[in-house]
Amino acid sequence: MCGIVGILGTHQVAPVILEALKRLEYRGYDSAGIATVNAGHLDRRRALGKLVNLSDLLVHEPLAGMAGIGHTRWATHGAPTVANAHPHRAGRVAVVHNGIIENFRALRSELAAAGLAHESDTDTETIAVLTRHYMDQGMTPTEAANATLERLEGAFALAFLFEGEDDLMIGARQGSPLAVGHGDGEMYLGSDALALAPLTDRITYLDEGDRVVLTRAGASITDAQGRRANRPLTRVRLDQATVDKAGHRHFMAKEIAEQPAVLGATMAFHCTPDKSALALPERLDFTACDRLILVACGTGYYAAQVAKYWFEGVAGLPCETDIASEYRYRQPVLGARNMAVFISQSGETADTLAALRHVRGHVACSVGVINVPTSSIARESDVALPILAGPEISVASTKAFTAQLMVLLLMALKAAQDRGKLSAQQVSDHLQLLQTLPGLMRAALDREPDIAELAQGLAGVNHALFLGRGPMLPLASEAALKLKELSYIHAEGYASGELKHGPIALIDETMPVIVLAPRDSLFAKTVSNMQEVLARQGRVVLFSDRAGLAEAGAVPQSLAMPEVPEMLAPFVYAVPAQLLAYHAALARGTDVDQPRNLAKSVTVE
């Protein structure tokens, strides 16, 4: 979603802000802009589409100044147009914003009644107009920004810049992340440390409700109650904050290829050095837990659905899964012995964060399974379990999915041990099995040429179905999600046994039906369902191992996967699902790392 950068610098800032915005591109955007103050004069440039358009504009109409704010906009209120692009300006103030101002219509009417007009359709412009209104009444920029912030309802990360103020920037955080960077004689604001990585490794993360007044001399932070606040200054490891494609054509390709190494590292972090036992936090205690609630969005939700099989099957623990955007609106029944787990790569997904806040005080323990350790979900959970996938830049989640599965499986083993379902030795045996996973993932990655060929066959279709049973069902949903978001082919994941209750009407000789079926305990049943599709001339593509392919009989197309222990199949079969979508996107010429309309981190409801 929207990305924010602000710099009070000692050199010209527009080119530096542009570079920082490039590092925020992965969040997803449809327009961009920069405002600077130069010798007291406030000016701005905005452009529709990719940053290259803003860059071109700046070549023809340069923007001077050593103080500036920049923004990448993912449209919420108002179409992607130049007029709706940030920074928004009203009189002497310019504002960039990530989030949604829920009461902007009321404020807008109030300002209109006072004779103050708006030029855009956005909620953000109201912030600028309101601040201008207060400044017109004689308030200083800081007083006006504070007065404005008091009036805002909703979620925001904000940066304000003022005409006549070359050494002042104001930031605010409520519901959307914002970080302060400390340079040598320079100060920065950024949506995340990635944006600021080459500028500084010294970062202060603002807390919920914080406001910050920046000058080149430093940052003055106040909390939600207006008290001076000391937030810790953390050193960000630059190797974790700087990212490149490492020779791959796309970040997605790199992130898919990283999975064997990531899974090895994730497992190592949460186990003893000899990997014979778990080393999860003591606070993660399932002894008295009577129900587990897994909540997430998108890919994280499918990881949760896979994990449900493990928590119930291995640990005998009742487990329910929920889509975060629905969770708190269905009045869920919570118990004092429940544990609630929130799965999020970014740790900032608005719905997942809201669900976490919803359960606070009503469950025994809240757990964040997150990739970004400084994220809101990490900080607000009772226990934060890092998945350690490293920065995931491609909008389509790949390595975060399998790393989430790894943490969830380790949690399930701990639950089984705490509840007396597995002995320490049995847990150790499972961990030994898990150590074979990187090798199996590599074997699956080796199938890429065959998968690329299968993807060519998909490139011309408009619809596809993925079928699975047991833990392969959420995998089918995840495979369909990947195909949809990357190639814009309509795809659905379906329970293979459920097909005949309706969707089988869709089957004809044009419909690709990709069946995910390792030779496991459910294999025979899945094959029966596949036969029902074949009998109706469906274009079946079977993903199975050698034994499964031999047993299944003739199918139009197939992919021979490595033999995998049943518990590890969801990890290994994620690889062809990801690669199929990747190569279908390549064949269709879509934007692999930044698919249309999508944002990496969805920080609005």
Tell which one of 396, 416, 495, 513 touches ligand M6R (CB under 6 A): 396
Q: Centre a 10 Å sphere on the Cβ of residue 508 and count the other Cβ atoms it contains.
A: 10
> Which stretch, 192-200, 233-241, 345-353, 428-436, contacts ligand M6R (CB under 6 A)?
345-353
Shortest Cβ distance from residue 401 to ligand M6R (Å)? Answer: 8
Amino acid at residue number 400: A
R_g over Cα of the chain? 25
Question: Looking at beta carbons only, is 416 or 599 nearer to ligand M6R?
Answer: 599
Q: Whose CB is nearest to ligand M6R?
A: 298
Site for ligand M6R in 484-513 (CB under 6 A): 485
Given the residues 2, 289, 297, 319, select the one marked as catalytic.
2
| Beta carbon of residue 397, minimum distance to ligand M6R (angstroms, whole number) | 4
d(C-alpha 598, C-alpha 192), whole Å: 18
- Pair type for strands 187-190 and 3-8: antiparallel
Q: Exactly one of 98, 397, 594, 603 binds ligand M6R (CB under 6 A); which one?
A: 397
Question: How near is the Cβ of 376 to ligand M6R at its closest, in Å?
Answer: 11
User: By CB under 6 A, is residue 376 in contact with ligand M6R?
Assistant: no
Q: DSSP letter at 175?
A: B
- Residue 348's SS3 state is coil
* Least Å from the CB of residue 189 to ligand M6R: 22
Active site residue 271: no
215: Cα separation from own chain's centroid = 32
Q: Which of 98, 122, 338, 349 binds ligand M6R (CB under 6 A)?
A: 349
Q: Per residue, what are the HEC states of 383-440?
A: EEEECCCCCCCCCCCCHHHHHHHHHHHHHHHHHHHHCCCCCHHHHHHHHHHHCCHHHH
Q: At closest approach, how far in Å is the CB of 349 from ligand M6R?
A: 3
Q: Tokens in use for 355? A: 């669900």
CB of 473 to ligand M6R, least distance (A): 17
Among 31, 98, 204, 344, interactor with ligand M6R by CB under 6 A: 344
Comparing CB distances to ligand M6R, the nearer of 302 and 523 is 302
Binding mask 559-598 for ligand M6R (x = CB under 6 A): ---------------------------------------x
Is-catalytic flag, 254?
no
Write down how long the chain is.
605
Indicate the residue among 393 and 467 with the shorter CB distance to ligand M6R.
393
Alpha helices, H only, 137-227 = 141-151, 193-196
On the CB side of 373, CA atoms within 13 Å amount to 12
Minimal distance in Å, beta carbon 247 to ligand M6R?
Answer: 23
Q: How far is the CB of 581 from ligand M6R (least distance, A)?
A: 9
Helix (H, G, I), strand (E, B) or coil at 325: helix
Shortest CA distance to 329 belongs to which of 358, 305, 306? 358
Report the site for ligand M6R in 97-136 (rule: CB under 6 A). Answer: none
Which position among 414, 421, 482, 600 bears the catalytic label? 600
Q: Does 350 bind ligand M6R (CB under 6 A)?
A: no
CA distance 80 to 389: 32
601 binds ligand M6R (CB under 6 A): yes
Measured distance between the N- and C-terminal CA atoms of the chain, rounded to whole angstroms = 12
| Binding residue (CB under 6 A) for ligand M6R from 128, 455, 602, 604 | 602
Quote the CA–CA distance of 455 and 286 in Å, as a whole number. 43
Nearer to ligand M6R, 443 or 598 (CB): 598
As measured in angstroms, the least distance from the Cβ of 593 to ligand M6R is: 11
The whole-angstrom separation of Cα 289 and Cα 150 is 41
CB atoms within 10 A of CB 52: 11
> Residue 191 and residue 179: Cα distance in Å, rounded?
6
How many residues form the binding site for ligand M6R (CB under 6 A)?
A: 17
Q: Which residue's CB is nearer to ligand M6R, number 130 or number 324?
A: 324
Interface positions, 279-298, toward ligand M6R (CB under 6 A): 297-298
- The residue assigned the tokens 């704010």 is 69
Please say which residue, 261 or 598, places its beta carbon nearer to ligand M6R.
Answer: 598
Q: How many CA atoms lie within 13 A of 27 on its CB side?
A: 32
Site string for ligand M6R, 295-324 (x = CB under 6 A): --xxxx------------------------
Phi, psi (5° rounding) for residue 191? -65, -30
Among 194, 350, 395, 479, binds ligand M6R (CB under 6 A): 395
In contact, 463 and 491? CB cutoff 8 Å: yes
> In this structure, are residues 69 and 17 in contact, taking their beta carbons and an 8 Å threshold?
yes
Q: Which residues bind ligand M6R (CB under 6 A)?
A: 297-300, 344-346, 349, 352, 395-397, 481, 485, 598, 601-602
Active centre residues (catalytic): 2, 600
